[in-house]
Amino acid sequence: MDKATFLAQLAHDGFQPPVLVEREPHDRLDVHSHPFEARALVIDGELWLRTAEGEQLYQAGDIFHLGAHEPHTEGFGPEGVRYLAGRRSA
């Protein structure tokens, strides 16, 4: 998905304007959750998200979604990752 379409969808669906998130190569975040719903567009690099539904790889152009309070882990590829993340209150 392109950035303009993603931004329009976020606004339409009531998400806050996105923030740019950058993570280091080969880093990871252990199990955690957020008090908000998140929808993000991967700009560069790749990440893996593991939720109760399994593990999924996301690369440039992909969108991922996490529900509020949804436990997950994150792993980042050899070039790290940059993504735009929109948040919506639970």
pLDDT, tens digit (0-9, with 9 covering 90-100), for 72-86: 999 999 999 999 999
Q: What are the distances in angstroms from CA 87 to CA 25, 26, 43, 67, 77?
A: 24, 25, 17, 10, 23
pLDDT of 90 above 80: no
Taking the CA of residue 36 as centre, how many other CA atoms within 13 Å lie in the half-sphere pointing to its CB?
Answer: 12
pLDDT at position 25 is 97
Q: DSSP string spanning 39-66? A: EEEEEEEEEEEEETTEEEEEETT-EEEE
Fold of the CATH domain 3-89: Jelly Rolls (2.60.120)
In the prediction, which pLDDT does 1 show?
87
Task: Calculate the CA dihedral of residues 7, 10, 59, 55 and round it to 10 degrees.
Answer: 180
What whole-number distance in Å separates Cα of residue 43 and Cα of residue 40?
9
Q: What is the pLDDT of residue 73?
A: 98
pLDDT tens across 1-53, in order? 899 999 999 999 999 999 999 999 999 999 999 999 999 999 999 999 999 99
pTM listed for this prediction = 0.93
